[in-house]
Chain A
Amino acid sequence: SQQGEEDPQALSIQEGENATMNCSYKTSINNLQWYRQNSGRGLVHLILIRSNEREKHSGRLRVTLDTSKKSSSLLITASRAADTASYFCATDAADSNYQLIWGAGTKLIIKP
């Protein structure tokens, strides 16, 4: 069963612009993670935000978490061609034995 759902499914922007992706989930969580996947490669962990945190930064990445709306957003500022990838959110949930549940991802294309 899918817990997280990313929005939009695909996003195409110009290099230098900011990219925002959203993730919604259904049940209460302990934490939410974001991962990046370059084409044909494995997933790489970007950032983890705990349920008692509202915002977290890592370099050009900013993640917010709104537990009342059961949603999170990932903002990439000053996008670069190298940011072209698929981005996935993953949440844990007590009713899934705390295993990570993954969304289907947002495909981000940065146009030069």
Chain B
Amino acid sequence: NAGVTQTPKFQVLKTGQSMTLQCAQDMNHEYMSWYRQDPGMGLRLIHYSVGAGITDQGEVPNGYNVSRSTTEDFPLRLLSAAPSQTSVYFCASSYSRSLPYTGELFFGEGSRLTVL
């Protein structure tokens, strides 16, 4: 029972490089989301999706792209990495697909990104 799987766990990038953080869930959840976690702050929502083909912006979407071609996968793309994107990124999913999107969230183990 894998739950939410994120890869890679650690990544170091140089400023200007691009990369994709992968997220997959095997619980048939409609709702998937990406958060970033910075020291001393709560989680901040980057992008979310309520089903295949549907995505929307969260609180801090700039510099990130997402797509949702299947129910299982929700990759997060950093277009041109900046030091301000150094953070821990979490993917989370939920069975909740209608407002409010606030059912219990299931989290991955996180991807720790450093941008030099």
Contacts and interface: CB of A to CB of B under 8 A. Distances in A.
Interface stretch (A13-21, A52-60, A98-106): A98-106
Contact of A30 (B40, B100, B104, B106): B100
Contact of B42 (A31, A40, A97, A105): A105
B45 A48 contact: no
Nearest to A5: B42
A80 to B, nearest CB: 22
Interface residues of A, number: 26
Contacts of A103: 42
Per DSSP, chain B at the interface is: loop
Interface in A1-49: 1-2, 4, 30-31, 33, 35, 40-45, 48
A45 B101 contact: no
A88 B37 CA distance: 12
B10 to A, nearest CB: 11
A100 B110 contact: no
Contacts of A35: 105
5 contacts: A2-B42, A35-B105, A42-B4, A100-B43, A102-B42
Interface of A: 1-2, 4, 30-31, 33, 35, 40-45, 48, 88, 90, 92, 97-105
